[in-house]
Chains A and B, each alone.
Chain A
Amino acid sequence: MLIKFTGGKVYDPANGIDGQVRDIYVRDGRVVTPSATDTISAEYNLAGKVVMAGGIDPHSHIGGGKMNIARMMLPEDHRHDNVARGDLTRAGCGHAAPSTFVAGYRYAEMGYTAAFEPAMLAVNARQTHAEMGDTPMIDKGAYVLLGSDDYFLRLLTRGADKEEIKDYIAWTMHAAQALAVKVVNPGGISAFKFNQRMLDLDEKNAFYGVTPRDIILTLGRSLQELGVPHPVHVHGCNLGVPGNKETTLATIRAAEGTPIHLTHIQFHSYGTEGDFKFSSGAAEIAELVNQNPNVSIDVGQILFGQTVTASGDSMRQYGNTKSANPKKWVVMDIECDAGCGVVPMKYRDKSFVNALQWAIGLEMFLLVKDPWRIFLTTDHPNGAPFTTYPHLIRLLMDKTFRNEMLRRIHPGAQAATILGSITREYSLNEIAIMTRAGPAKSLGLKDRGHLGPGACADITVYDDNPDREAMFTTPAFVFKNGEMIVRNGRIVHVVAGATHVVRPEYDRKRTEKPLKDYFETYHTMRMENFRMADEEVITAGCGHAPGTCGCLIVQPVGTRK
């Protein structure tokens, strides 16, 4: 069955198509080049409409224990956003920490077809995959956390051979069914338990004697050698601390050319100037990012209103508890391997700090020149729920609107930001890069984020509305694997979505021998139970063409381009 999408303005930056009118043909869930003899069995006339690949969110907390804590902690946030059962959809609730089903529906209704959970703790992998399995409509995957877990830090302390470290990283990725590796406050979550309340890049963890610099560099190089496409996903030291821009600049330099991805960089770009001892470091960091092609970032933009911050960084979240609004929070250890901190937060435009955080995120977006290395995120739900993306896109694409919003924030923050003097406006092509092609390339999703032949037919069609917020809020059509799932912003067909994983090669036998002893001695479960089987991830009815993937898509490893 051949489907033709006729006459839409196509934005497919991965294939160099920038708003030209093109026809797209889809067969069996893939974009194809038809031969002259093919008959077309269905046609959509998309004249005047904007066609892009389905959106990809590379950093969104949609699973893992912390989201369940956030859901339980904020019943009053759900109460105003109840979602009734529909003919196709299940009941749930929305806003800051939406239920899994509502998260899936709302992503699809916004034109997104994939979202990736960035903080899966290996010991919580089962829970994370179960939640992602209950998140319908979109493809997903998760980055496994390393860097504050006991076994990894022990390896570093005793100066283990780099092959042994690589084996352990690969083993963990297999065991947790991960797509990439993330490090959260490298070594700092562990240091918190030894009463350190801060751990800078070159400060030693009191117990293990390793520094965040060692951890980042070891992970970065190991992942590169293992051929994992996505570079080490770094949530750096000193999140949210005024003056942390120095740490961030040092972290970029510490990578020594090794590919790294710095996540929610807005929270790591603060200076200490001005009356409030809080200022923007966006310009300096953006300049260094521009100079270092090995670095990619996502922003973690904040937008005003109620949300909840959920992070593995128990050290910094403990510091944030005094700003909790409403005043309740959870900070906990998880199995001595990592931590978890959930703190509700209300960002106010009349607060100097919040207003400047907002401006810093936007400065970062506008000052980093290469859209292939900066991705659009709010670090859902930490900066704002993902449902605010259309508003954020409008802020980036519409200078007049942006300046109007700027005039409403705290006057001190207005004076402290250069945002008003930046005239850059993102084009639709650049938006397509930072929300589709860029994340897909960075994550190594070969057949996503573009519309060339062989690509998965995840396609979003928008009306070309000059109000970009309205345009990106309500897509005209969304197709997942060639099937229409959303029409005029409403779900018309429910699919499950696949889970993406990466499986680097390693010596399993050599790795598991010492690991098994370690698990027997120290862990709460056996090594064999710790490892997740494929059958635990696969759910029925993923919506993919039979025989192509099951529900688990193994992305290839290889040298990064």
Chain B
Amino acid sequence: MSGLRLRLKSAPAGRLDLSCLQPDPLTARTADEVARLPFEDGTLGDLFEITAIADANTLILAGPTSACDGIGDGLASGTLVVEGDVGQYAGRFMKGGRLDIRGSAGDYLGAGMKRGLLTVAGSAGNFVGGLLPGEKFGMAGGVIRVGGDIGDRAGDRMRRGTIVVKGKTGAAAGSRMAGGTIWAEGGFGPGAGPLMRRGTLIGPKAEQMLATFSDCGEHDMVFLRLISRFVAAELGSLAPPPLPVKVRRYAGDMATIGKGELLLTG
């Protein structure tokens, strides 16, 4: 089984739903076969220049823009590499495999993700690892790593899994969080953790910390070494430097059950 490279011939005029492009079924076919597959009113070949590559079970998507939605939606296995920006819902409900976005991502990156590894070189929009209206939980597992900043309300109703951000989060990161970890190397934006029930937020600083987070003092926690080791193993060279021996712990959100924590390393 080899891989495929799909290059978008021209930037789409409107929104384009590319959730159907999955490495697993597509790389089992030849480039010609894939080009003949129906897509919207024509075929995939109308939209993409398709060539075979050597990497096994790998799909490279070149030239997408922020108008391309749903890339890697429900990805279960294989590797999907995106050379360009992506729109909303990238890696939504991902169940496994690896999605590497070499550009930036829109809203709802990895919303409802269950397993697998999702990396973004640039920045990402709001609701990273969150959920859509009507759903009960956000991210339930796997690892998301964003190279730049992310938007508001990352990890909304997140249940499990890890989000690592090189830059800063927007407002209200970890809102309604029920579990999991958000590690922001650049710190948290205003009002992190509203209605957070459980889960962990880690960063050097947090702007306008909510009044419902209580200072628990400095702690030396085993968890710090575990999460550092886990992230290093998952992300390799992309992993942040290990956490310090001691962090300042704030418990919250006391407006709910208050079993969540905000760990300040700075």
Which A residues fall within an 8 A CB radius of B?
Answer: 73-77, 79, 326-327
B136, A75: Cβ atoms closer than 8 Å = no
Which B residues fall within an 8 A CB radius of A?
Answer: 132-136
Closest to A77 in B: B134
Once the chains are docked, how many angstroms separate the CA of A73 from the CA of B132?
13
Closest to A328 in B: B136
Return the 5 tightest CB-CB contacts between A and B, nearest first. A75-B134, A76-B134, A75-B133, A76-B135, A326-B136
Once the chains are docked, how many angstroms separate the CA of A75 from the CA of B133?
7
Closest to B135 in A: A76
* Sample of 14 A–B contacts (CB below 8 Å): A73-B134, A74-B134, A75-B132, A75-B133, A75-B134, A76-B132, A76-B133, A76-B134, A76-B135, A77-B134, A79-B132, A79-B134, A326-B136, A327-B136
Once the chains are docked, how many angstroms separate the CA of A73 from the CA of B133?
9
Contacts of A74 in B (CB 8 A): 134
Once the chains are docked, how many angstroms separate the CA of A281 from the CA of B34?
56
Once the chains are docked, how many angstroms separate the CA of A327 from the CA of B135?
10
Tell me which of A73, A79, A327 has the highest count of chain B C-beta atoms within 10 A of its own C-beta: A79
Contacts of A77 in B (CB 8 A): 134
Known: A75-B134, A76-B134. 12 other contacts (CB 8 A): A73-B134, A74-B134, A75-B132, A75-B133, A76-B132, A76-B133, A76-B135, A77-B134, A79-B132, A79-B134, A326-B136, A327-B136
Contacts of B134 in A (CB 8 A): 73-77, 79
Interface of A is mostly: helix
Closest to B133 in A: A75
Once the chains are docked, how many angstroms separate the CA of A73 from the CA of B136?
12
CB proximity of B38 to chain A, nearest CB, Å? 16
CB proximity of B137 to chain A, nearest CB, Å? 11
Contacts of A73 in B (CB 8 A): 134
Contacts of B133 in A (CB 8 A): 75-76
Contacts of B136 in A (CB 8 A): 326-327
CB proximity of A306 to chain B, nearest CB, Å? 12
Closest to B131 in A: A76
Once the chains are docked, how many angstroms separate the CA of A74 from the CA of B132?
11
Contacts of B135 in A (CB 8 A): 76
Closest to A73 in B: B134
Once the chains are docked, how many angstroms separate the CA of A76 from the CA of B132?
8
Contacts of A327 in B (CB 8 A): 136
CB proximity of A329 to chain B, nearest CB, Å? 13
CB proximity of A346 to chain B, nearest CB, Å? 13
CB proximity of A535 to chain B, nearest CB, Å? 37
CB proximity of A91 to chain B, nearest CB, Å? 14
CB proximity of B92 to chain A, nearest CB, Å? 11
Once the chains are docked, how many angstroms separate the CA of A327 from the CA of B136?
9
Once the chains are docked, how many angstroms separate the CA of A327 from the CA of B132?
16
Once the chains are docked, how many angstroms separate the CA of A76 from the CA of B93?
13
Once the chains are docked, how many angstroms separate the CA of A327 from the CA of B133?
14
Closest to A327 in B: B136
CB proximity of A97 to chain B, nearest CB, Å? 12
Once the chains are docked, how many angstroms separate the CA of A327 from the CA of B134?
11
Once the chains are docked, how many angstroms separate the CA of A75 from the CA of B131?
12
Tell me which of B132, B134, B135, B136 has the highest count of chain A C-beta atoms within 10 A of its own C-beta: B134
CB proximity of B234 to chain A, nearest CB, Å? 30
CB proximity of A307 to chain B, nearest CB, Å? 15
Once the chains are docked, how many angstroms separate the CA of A74 from the CA of B134?
6
Once the chains are docked, how many angstroms separate the CA of A76 from the CA of B135?
6
Once the chains are docked, how many angstroms separate the CA of A79 from the CA of B74?
15
CB proximity of A213 to chain B, nearest CB, Å? 42
Once the chains are docked, how many angstroms separate the CA of A69 from the CA of B129?
28
Once the chains are docked, how many angstroms separate the CA of A76 from the CA of B137?
12
Contacts of A326 in B (CB 8 A): 136
Closest to A75 in B: B134
Once the chains are docked, how many angstroms separate the CA of A360 from the CA of B134?
32
Once the chains are docked, how many angstroms separate the CA of A79 from the CA of B111?
14
